[in-house]
Amino acid sequence: MEYHIQVENIKCGGCINSIKKAVSSIAGVEKVEVNKETETVSVLGGENLQAQLVEKLAELGYPEKGNNNLWLKAKSFVSCAVGRINKED
């Protein structure tokens, strides 16, 4: 199944790396793609993953469009920094 979730706060490659790593760790996820320009996370995986994906993204600071707040913005900066440090070459 394909899932396309529009999120907030994607700023750079560090954000993308953090999102890919965290979402890939969810059981049933086969492939994760992140489009910075459209702020869309696309996931290929098993059925009934939507709620888990949305929850994981919000935990990282990348909530669905329209659900942003100051706390989530701050969390996204931390996730971004971690993604920059752990960047895969």
Q: Across residues 62-73, what is the average pLDDT?
A: 91
∠ CA 78-68-42, rounded to 5°: 75
CB 6 within 8 A of CB 40: yes
Domains of the chain, first to last: 2-81 (3.30.70.100)
* pLDDT of 88 strictly over 60: no
Structure tokens that stand for 12 in this block: 């750079």
Predicted local distance difference test score (pLDDT) of residue 82: 84
pLDDT in tens, 22-64: 999 999 999 999 999 999 999 999 999 999 999 999 999 999 9
pLDDT band at residue 83 under the 50/70/90 scheme: confident
Structure tokens that stand for 4 in this block: 């396309």
Q: What is the DSSP letter of 43?
A: E
pTM higher than 0.85: yes
CA dihedral over 4, 21, 84, 89, signed as positive or negative: negative
